[in-house]
Structure 1
Amino acid sequence: MTIKKIITLRGSLIAAALALLCSTFLALPANAQAFDDCPAGQLCLYSASGGAGTKRTFAVQDNGQRYDASWDNATLSAKNNTTYWACVYVDTDYGGLLQTIKPGNSDEYGNDSRFAGTISSHKLVPSRAHCFTGYERCPDNRVCTFTEPAGRGAMTVHIPATDPATRNYGNAYGAEVAPASVWNRTRRHLCFYPTEKFTGTWSDPATPATKYGAYVVLKGDSTTVPSPFARTFRSHELVNGTSECQ
């Protein structure tokens, strides 16, 4: 074989290899560039898997406690293009099941029936631990009650009124509030009661003869309410000392 023929053969082999390589790149899935349209500093939610479909973008300070009807329960994939952790929830007000997304990562929900088309709220937070609480929504100098543990779920902000009998500040409310957790962001201690009359006791199911009076949350404290008190509060008052609880 002449030198010329060897060079020609080698050139043919190189050309064939390049053609194969190029065909490999051309055969990549259509979603190889998925999520590339998500701007820096944004959380992007998509209505289809792989960063396809309709896109919604949210800045770090734009925490979505609920979406409008056109977007609620529409998310099938997400890209967190921020330096914060993203938390997505299946219920409004940071409630229900949740998923977390690391900074810079994407996530898929289409193959998980718990999250596919069920996401209804989100927030962006400094650390993953913040995804599991929602107390930060409570304004200063207010009592806030939440329908789920750890400050998650629907929040009620209580603006105190004066109880005519005790002259203490407090509120009465119905079962629709159903507190499972509470933050006492006031400068007074907080006494909860099982009736709307700022009175009553609880019984321990394990020992029915054991009675409990007011459930106390000290000033500045937040807590998930344990059994048998959880979801049974119907009134509360703010007092200077816990001995003032009824």
Structure 2
Amino acid sequence: MTIKKLITVRGSLIAAALALLGSAFFVLPASAQAFDDCPAGQLCLYSASGGGGTQRAFSVEDDGTRYDASWDDATLSAKNNTPYWACVYVDTDFGGLLQTIKPGNSDEYGDDPRFAGKISSHKLVPSRAHCFTGYERCPDNRVCTFTEAAGRGRMTVHMPMTDPATKNYGNAYGAEVAPVSVWNRTARHVCFYPTEKFTGTWTDPAAPATTYGAYVVLKGDSTTVPAPFAGTFRSHELVNGTSECQ
């Protein structure tokens, strides 16, 4: 009788252990279940970790340069359910620090103070390399200037006009922040100057005896402005040949 009872108890324990083992293989983590609500072809941003909280879904056609006040700086996790790379940024206009998300992957930001509740823009792109540039926003036949390197940050699209005093065909910037990068998508070359009067020269701090005239961006070219020109542009003009620069 004692032996039979012992066998029965052992059998019950083994059955219970097998039941627990089986459940371990079939119960999905809560975070995986939460991210499952992201529709195909969408980048989903969530207001809580693990795909929880409120969800906002974006397609590749949606404008991700900035969010409305109810969603700005609200993201704590994300799911990229698209065939594209997703890029998320802490500033509007694809500016500031960034994170990339592979197609099909999810990401968490709640434990990273650099990104937690700070994401303000995103885009979906063909490759990871596209996350590090924003030049593609510039429309054809325009000069575009940007507040960050590689065409990132706030973009200004310049509509050239003839200055009534100097007769230069271009734009003066007034109080606008000096460009950090430029794309010249026009059929003319662009001459940049350190004054609003389409004139001026630069001195190289490393070689004070060396001065430079206009900084030229050839037609079709883009660039991040190098020293000693960085942060100093106050005007530009469009010319047919570089010899026309002041």
Normalising by structure 1, we get a TM-score of 0.91
Q: Which residue of 2 aligns with 1:242?
A: 242
Residue deviations 1:94-151 (CA, integer Å, cap 9, x gap): 0000000000000000111100111000000000000000001111100000000000
- Residues 138 and 27 from structure 1, CA distance in 2 versus in 1: closer, same or farther, beyond 3 angstroms? closer
Aligned length: 244
TM alignment of 1:121-140, pairs within 5 A: 121-140=121-140
> 8 Å contact 1:189–1:219 — kept in the other structure?
yes
Give the whole-Å Cα distance in 2 for the aligned partners of 1:192 and 1:166: 15
TM alignment of 1:104-123, pairs within 5 A: 104-123=104-123
Q: Which residue of 1 aligns with 2:161?
A: 161
- Residues 91 and 207 from structure 1, CA distance in 2 versus in 1: closer, same or farther, beyond 3 angstroms? same
Which range is displaced more, 39-48 or 18-27? 18-27
Residue deviations 1:146-185 (CA, integer Å, cap 9, x gap): 0000000000010000134564420111242310000000
Q: Which ranges in structure 1 are unaligned for 5 or more consecutive residues?
A: none
Q: Which ranges in structure 2 are unaligned for 5 or more consecutive residues?
A: none
TM alignment of 1:1-246, pairs within 5 A: 12=12, 15-22=15-22, 24=24, 30-164=30-164, 167-246=167-246
Give the whole-Å Cα distance in 1 for the aligned partners of 2:174 and 2:208: 24
| Cα distance, 1:52 vs structure 2 | 0.4
> 8 Å contact 1:89–1:119 — kept in the other structure?
yes
Residue deviations 1:179-224 (CA, integer Å, cap 9, x gap): 0000000000000000000000111111122111000000010110
For 1:74, give the aligned amino acid.
Answer: A
Question: Sequence identity, in percent?
Answer: 87
| Cα distance, 1:61 vs structure 2 | 1.3
For 1:76, give the aligned amino acid.
Answer: L
> 8 Å contact 1:145–1:179 — kept in the other structure?
yes
> 8 Å contact 2:80–2:104 — kept in the other structure?
yes
For 1:235, give the aligned amino acid.
Answer: S
> 8 Å contact 2:166–2:197 — kept in the other structure?
no
Give the whole-Å Cα distance in 1 for the aligned partners of 2:139 and 2:31: 43
Residue deviations 1:52-103 (CA, integer Å, cap 9, x gap): 0110000011131000111100000000000000000000000000000000
> 8 Å contact 1:193–1:199 — kept in the other structure?
yes
> 8 Å contact 1:197–1:235 — kept in the other structure?
yes
For 2:234, give the aligned amino acid.
Answer: R
Give the whole-Å Cα distance in 2 for the aligned partners of 1:220 and 1:26: 57
Give the whole-Å Cα distance in 1 for the aligned partners of 2:131 and 2:71: 21
